[in-house]
Amino acid sequence: MSLEWILSPQRIAGAATLVVGYAALCARVAWVSRRKRLDLSHGNEEAAGHSQWPAVLVCYASQTGQAEGIAREAAGMLRASGMRATLMPVDAVGADMLRSHERSLWVLSTTGEGDAPDHALPFVQALLPKSLSLPNHQSQVLALGDREYREFCAFGEQVHRWLEAQGASSELTRVDNMDRDTLRAWQARMNERKLEWLGGTDSQPPAPDEEEWLLPPATTLVRLERRTLLNPGSQGGPLYQLDWVAEPGRELPHWESGDLASLRIPADPAHPRDYSIASIPQDNVLQMLVRLSVREDGTPGMASGWLCGGIREGDSLEVSVRRHSSFRLGDSAGRPLILIGNGSGLAGLLGHVRARIARQQGDQWLIFGERSPVHDALLDQQLQDWLQSGQLARLDRAWSRDGDNPRLYVQDVVLEQADAIRAWIARGAAIFVCGSLQGMGQGVHKALRQVLGEEALHELVQSGRYRRDVY
Ligand SMILES: Cc1cc2nc3c(=O)[nH]c(=O)nc-3n(C[C@H](O)[C@H](O)[C@H](O)COP(=O)(O)O)c2cc1C
């Protein structure tokens, strides 16, 4: 062992970290027990105090809320251990902020075809092309993805490589379809890192309740009150409206319009299925629209087959609500809304329409696409009633199988109504798109780019005025 090495700045800095870490650990033991008696706040006000404790930046990029949920839990866990954890979406992360932190934790999902989630665009365009010097920075990257996609975890990998190129040390973990074993292993590793960050692994092992900080959201038992076929005679797959109510003596979980209901079906409890919630809590019903999917061999899909046929009215099921921040109304709750979608995507849009009607805001325009006006005019009476009463300002429907009429899709309506779309945007409207990615989501995006221009659409994404739930 050379003298230079013993006296090297890194060694001295390491020893100093250990001393500070030990002090932090002592304080932490007292503080953790206090925290356990307090309600664990996820607000960033926690990050402001306790300046003597190690600071971690917890960043997320999330399209449907899973990465955000994990980041939130991780920040809560770090705070409960006595660290200063600042939670933020990646688009709020700046160069100075990264330089001023020695540790960061990234939870990043990949969407589209290997793309970053929509809200991460400013980060991708402004920060990723930059060169920063982060030689002492330690980062953990948790990349969420799905192996079914060719570009598995591409965005998480991109950020991991970028961090390494800036001189940071980075550990990458890829998670396939929220695999619980991978998440549990990562969680165990984070508990180790946390102790290192706090000043040495030879300190106390984590308390048992700290190990399970990635708990799944609470579930509630609900009963299927009614199942209604919405498109009898359709050439497409049957689409059902499912109305769930609370079991006697229980309450439905809380949600906001845009959120998802996560169901565990008996045949495959390890893989919950998410559905957009079409109702609002004031309805006292949790409503969803489910299309029966049919496999290539003609047999019904496992989850949709059971929901559309297996489970009977009166039967019960565990459900949990998944916060879907990127598709909630958020700051757009008071703006005029343009709601665009197709098929079962109507569910996500209906939630917003109902939430706004409850707020007595009828300034909303629904552009909806289906196959035939004869068989697929979903919830037509309800939509017509809203239109009559002014609770819906405009309703445009695009039918792709309407006798001899030319095939019309929602993106065609967007192009046809370009002037009106521009006028709505000029007076502050926000756009929400829900439904299939292939064809609809991509087509509408292209049409909007044509109508509004690349830059204006980009600005709408950045300011949260263009939100998509496409699958
Ligand atoms: C429309 C769509 C596109 C997706 N594209 C990819 C992809 O290209 N690569 C990948 O690894 N995962 C992809 N996924 C899977 C997501 O990354 C995965 O479901 C993740 O857990 C979602 O996290 P989030 O809720 O934070 O967005 C895609 C998911 C959806 C719904």
Residues written for the chain: 471
Q: What is the pLDDT of residue 326?
A: 77
- Determine contact, residues 106/159, Cβ cutoff 8 Å: yes
181 or 288, higher pLDDT? 288
**C-alpha to C-alpha distance for 306 and 268, rounded to whole angstroms:** 11
203 has a pLDDT exceeding 50? no
458 or 417, higher pLDDT? 417
Handedness of CA 178, 181, 183, 186 (dihedral sign): negative
Mutate which of 70, 146, 276 to test ligand 1's pocket (most atoms within 8 Å of Cβ)? 146
397 or 34, higher pLDDT? 397
- Determine contact, residues 74/121, Cβ cutoff 8 Å: no
| Residue 136 in tokens | 């002492």
| Range 197-212 average pLDDT | 47
Instruction: Report the range of poorest mean pLDDT among 20-29, 80-89, 369-378.
Output: 20-29
| pLDDT tens readout for residues 419-464 | 999 999 999 999 999 999 888 999 999 999 999 999 999 899 878 8
- Tell me, using a 6 A CB cutoff, whether residue 143 lines ligand 1: no
| Range 280-287 average pLDDT | 97
Q: What is the pLDDT of residue 437?
A: 85
Displacement of CA 205 from its chain's centroid (Å):
32
| pLDDT tens readout for residues 346-376 | 999 999 999 999 999 999 999 999 999 999 9
User: In the chain, what are the domains?
Assistant: 14-211 (3.40.50.360), 220-323 (2.40.30.10), 329-470 (3.40.50.80)
Mutate which of 60, 73, 109, 119 to test ligand 1's pocket (most atoms within 8 Å of Cβ)? 109
313 has a pLDDT exceeding 90? yes
- Tell me, using a 6 A CB cutoff, whether residue 396 lines ligand 1: no
| pLDDT tens readout for residues 126-152 | 999 999 999 999 999 999 999 999 999
395 or 43, higher pLDDT? 395
Q: Model confidence at 32, in pLDDT bands (50, 70, 90)?
A: very low
Which pTM was predicted?
0.62
**C-alpha to C-alpha distance for 340 and 44, rounded to whole angstroms:** 34
Q: What is the pLDDT of residue 82?
A: 73
| pLDDT tens readout for residues 218-253 | 688 999 999 999 999 999 999 999 999 999 888 999
Q: What is the ipTM of this complex?
A: 0.91
Mutate which of 149, 153, 469 to test ligand 1's pocket (most atoms within 8 Å of Cβ)? 149
52 has a pLDDT exceeding 70? no
Least Cα distance to 244 among 220, 266, 268 occurs for: 220
Residue 103 CB contacts under 8 Å (≥ 6 apart), including other chains: 54, 55, 56, 57, 137, 138, 139, 197
Bridge partners of 121, per DSSP, are: none
| Residue 40 in tokens | 């664990």
Q: Model confidence at 217, in pLDDT bands (50, 70, 90)?
A: low
In the numeric block, the tokens 């917003």 are attached to: 352
**C-alpha to C-alpha distance for 262 and 69, rounded to whole angstroms:** 14
The CA 154 to ligand 1 mean position distance, Å, reads 10
Least Cα distance to 254 among 218, 216, 290 occurs for: 218
- E strand intervals along 424-464: 430-435
Ligand 1, atom 27, lies closest to the CA of 63
36 has a pLDDT exceeding 50? no
Q: Which residues of 262-285 are buried (b: 16+ CB within 10 A; e: fewer)?
A: bbbbeeeeeebbbbbbbbbbeeeb
Enumerate the H helices of 140-254 as residue ranges. Answer: 154-165, 180-198, 208-211
20 has a pLDDT exceeding 90? no
In the numeric block, the tokens 């990458």 are attached to: 172
Ligand 1, atom 9, lies closest to the CA of 152
The CA 376 to ligand 1 mean position distance, Å, reads 29
Ligand 1, atom 31, lies closest to the CA of 471
210 has a pLDDT exceeding 80? no
60 has a pLDDT exceeding 50? yes
Bridge partners of 317, per DSSP, are: 222
| Range 408-417 average pLDDT | 98
Q: Which residues of 293-324 are buried (b: 16+ CB within 10 A; e: fewer)?
A: eeeeeeebbbbbbbbbeebeeeeebebbbbbb
- Determine contact, residues 425/396, Cβ cutoff 8 Å: no
175, 194, 214, 408 from 145: Cα distances, Å: 6, 25, 17, 34
Q: Model confidence at 305, in pLDDT bands (50, 70, 90)?
A: very high
Instruction: Report the range of poorest mean pLDDT among 34-38, 194-198, 264-268.
Output: 34-38
Helix, coil or strand: residue 428: coil
For residue 437, the ligand 1 atom closest to its alpha carbon is 1
In the numeric block, the tokens 């996820």 are attached to: 42
Average model confidence (pLDDT) across the chain: 85
Q: Model confidence at 33, in pLDDT bands (50, 70, 90)?
A: very low
Ligand 1, atom 17, lies closest to the CA of 145
| Range 162-191 average pLDDT | 92
The CA 429 to ligand 1 mean position distance, Å, reads 28
282 has a pLDDT exceeding 60? yes
Sheet of 430-435, strands arranged across: 394-399, 364-370, 337-342, 430-435, 466-470
In the numeric block, the tokens 């967007």 are attached to: 414
Q: What is the pLDDT of residue 367?
A: 98
| Residue 301 in tokens | 């899909």
9 has a pLDDT exceeding 60? no
| Range 206-219 average pLDDT | 50
